[in-house]
């Protein structure tokens, strides 16, 4: 059973305004399960219950078919102080799942004629060292830039200082890269995952648009798609609604591990979002309501390099476009990504020919979000080829 936003607004009226469209969708899907009609939903419920206790950090899971929710599940709490249960509106730090939004922002600017995929770093940042002359926007998008990873260039953090006071920001990453004399490899010759490249893409969006990266995302992506709880978080400038805090378990005890020295950068991992908003994002991708099919094509074209190509989180060969891994799973074509940062694990799997999407958001470091998302996908793809 599915009710889209317009149908629910017309039919339920004040009830929706009191509980929220997504909250009502969760209720309706839950009611559907009571009649025993959807055994797959019960399987996912059982899977979550086996992994997560009710009063510990947990996870939220979305399954969508053709851009519409068919399963919404959550278990655990968003933070251990208030013991707020996780629900469909809980905002998680997406970590590297952010990269698809950064790529979309760049694609919108290319459509606007304000950027070209072949623009070079030295065109966009004239004071960038000579080694950036051969690095293009396309290289940044598909991780073939050869730029050193800023996390390897940062000095060791002083653990006696609060982590928020030693965090690196986007401008700091650019400064670190400007101090380097060389790349890892000739741009376009190899593939190596580079958070540095996506931090620079966030700065490039700012340079090309004249708007801050968070403002551009808000105005051109999140607001038009009604992603009301999604934002690129900047401490002291905005606030994450319904925020989940990251956690890790050590010696049998949970601790808040919500921030790290690299948690303040934006283009590589700074977006927070919820199941409700990621459903809106999935529908926009499915219906091409933000970027047309032809405009999305470069993002879904695997990069080809002469030497060893992309690898997934398990080290196996993969394909990569702009902000998306692109290799199939068990014969099912897909576009996907995962994220890992202090206290959070995230994944999105879009099986493009099946019209199926699975999103997993976790606020604990001991869950494998890509593995969990594929287990859920397997339940819904069972018997399909």
Mean residue pLDDT of the chain comes to 89
Flag whether 248 is in a domain.
Answer: yes
pLDDT confidence tier of residue 351, bands split at 50, 70 and 90? very high
Tell me how many domains the chain contains.
1
Mean pLDDT of 273-282: 98
DSSP 347: E
Q: In this predicted model, what pLDDT tens digit does every residue of 102-148 receive, in sequence order? A: 999 999 999 999 999 999 999 999 999 999 999 999 999 999 999 99
Residue 31 lies in a domain: no
Q: How far apart are CA 280 and CA 259, in angstroms?
A: 27
Please tell me the predicted confidence (pLDDT) of residue 164. 86
Query: What pLDDT does 376 receive?
Result: 98
- Confidence band for 25, pLDDT divided at 50, 70 and 90: low
User: What is the structure's pLDDT at 210?
Assistant: 97
Percent of the chain with pLDDT over 90: 78
> What is the average per-residue pLDDT within 218-238?
97
67 assigned to some structural domain: no
| CATH code of the domain containing 140 | 3.40.710.10
Q: Is 34 a residue whose pLDDT tops 90?
A: no
| Residue of 141, 102, 9, 69 lying closest to 286 (CA atoms) | 69
Contacts of 53 (CB under 8 A, 6+ apart): 76
What phi-psi label fits residue 295: left (phi over 0), alpha (psi between -120 and 50 degrees) or beta?
alpha
Task: Return the bridge partners of 161, or none.
Answer: none
- Give per-residue pLDDT as tens, 316-344: 788 999 999 999 999 999 999 999 999 99
For 44-63, what is each residue's pLDDT tens digit? 999 999 999 999 999 999 99
pLDDT at residue 4, rounded to an integer: 39
| pLDDT score at 383 | 55
pLDDT of residue 23: 55
Q: Please, where are the H alpha helices in the chain?
A: 5-12, 14-19, 21-34, 39-51, 99-112, 121-124, 137-141, 150-153, 170-178, 195-209, 213-217, 275-287, 293-296, 369-381
Mean pLDDT of 344-361: 98
Cross-strand partners of 348: 337, 359
Judge whether 312 lies within some domain.
Answer: yes
Is residue 11 in some structural domain? no
Residue from 347, 312, 315 nearest 327 by CA = 312
For 180-193, how does the pLDDT look when each residue is reduced to its tens digit (9 = 90+)?
Answer: 988 899 999 999 99
Report residue 30's pLDDT band, with 50, 70 and 90 as the boundaries: very low
Q: What is the pTM of this model?
A: 0.90
Q: How many helices (H) and strands (E) does the chain have?
A: 14, 12
207, 140 contact by CB (below 8 A): no
In the predicted structure, residue 290 carries a pLDDT above the cut 60: yes
* Reported confidence tier of residue 12, pLDDT bands at 50, 70, 90: very low
Whether the per-residue pLDDT at 82 is higher than 50: the answer is: yes
Range of the domain at 262: 92-381
Q: Which two tokens stand for residue 113?
A: 């004629």
Calculate mean pLDDT across residues 363-384: 93
Residue 179 has pLDDT above 60, yes or no: yes
The beta strand positions in 160-266, using DSSP E, are: 231-232, 247-250, 253-256
203 located within any domain: yes
């Amino acid at each position: 059973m599915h009710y889209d936003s317009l149908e629910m607004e017309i039919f339920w009226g004040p009830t929706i305004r009191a509980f929220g469209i997504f909250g009502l969708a969760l209720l309706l899907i839950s009611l559907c399960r009571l009649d025993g009609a959807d055994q797959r939903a019960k399987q996912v419920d059982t899977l979550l219950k086996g992994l997560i206790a009710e009063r510990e950090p947990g996870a939220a899971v979305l399954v969508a078919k053709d851009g519409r929710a068919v399963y919404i599940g959550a278990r655990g709490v968003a933070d251990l102080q208030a013991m707020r249960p996780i629900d469909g509106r809980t905002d998680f730090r997406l970590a590297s799942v952010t990269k698809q939004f950064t790529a979309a922002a760049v694609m919108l600017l290319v459509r606007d004629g304000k950027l070209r995929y072949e623009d070079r770093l030295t065109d966009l940042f004239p004071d960038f060292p000579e080694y950036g002359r051969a690095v293009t926007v396309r290289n940044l998008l598909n991780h073939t830039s050869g730029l050193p990873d800023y996390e390897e260039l940062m000095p060791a953090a002083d653990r006696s200082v609060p982590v928020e006071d030693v965090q690196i920001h986007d401008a700091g990453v650019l400064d670190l890269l400007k101090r380097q004399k060389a790349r890892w490899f000739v741009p376009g010759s190899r593939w190596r995952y580079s958070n540095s490249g996506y931090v620079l893409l966030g700065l490039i969006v700012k340079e090309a648009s004249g708007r801050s990266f968070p403002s551009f995302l808000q105005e051109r992506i999140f607001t038009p798609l009604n992603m009301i709880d999604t934002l690129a978080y900047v401490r002291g400038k905005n606030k994450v609604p319904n925020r989940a805090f990251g956690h890790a378990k050590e010696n049998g005890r949970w601790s808040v591990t919500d921030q790290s020295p690299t948690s303040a950068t934006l283009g590589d991992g700074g977006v927070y979002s919820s199941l409700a908003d990621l459903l809106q994002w999935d529908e926009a991708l499915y219906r091409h309501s933000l970027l047309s099919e032809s405009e999305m094509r470069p993002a879904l074209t695997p990069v080809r390099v002469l030497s060893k190509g992309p690898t997934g989180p398990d080290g196996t060969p993969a394909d990569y476009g702009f902000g998306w891994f692109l290799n199939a799973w068990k014969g099912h074509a897909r576009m996907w990504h995962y994220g890992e940062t202090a206290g959070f694990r995230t994944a999105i799997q879009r099986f493009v020919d099946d019209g199926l999407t699975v999103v997993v958001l976790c606020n604990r470091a001991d869950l494998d979000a890509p593995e969990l998302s594929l287990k859920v996908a397997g339940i819904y793809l069972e018997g399909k080829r």
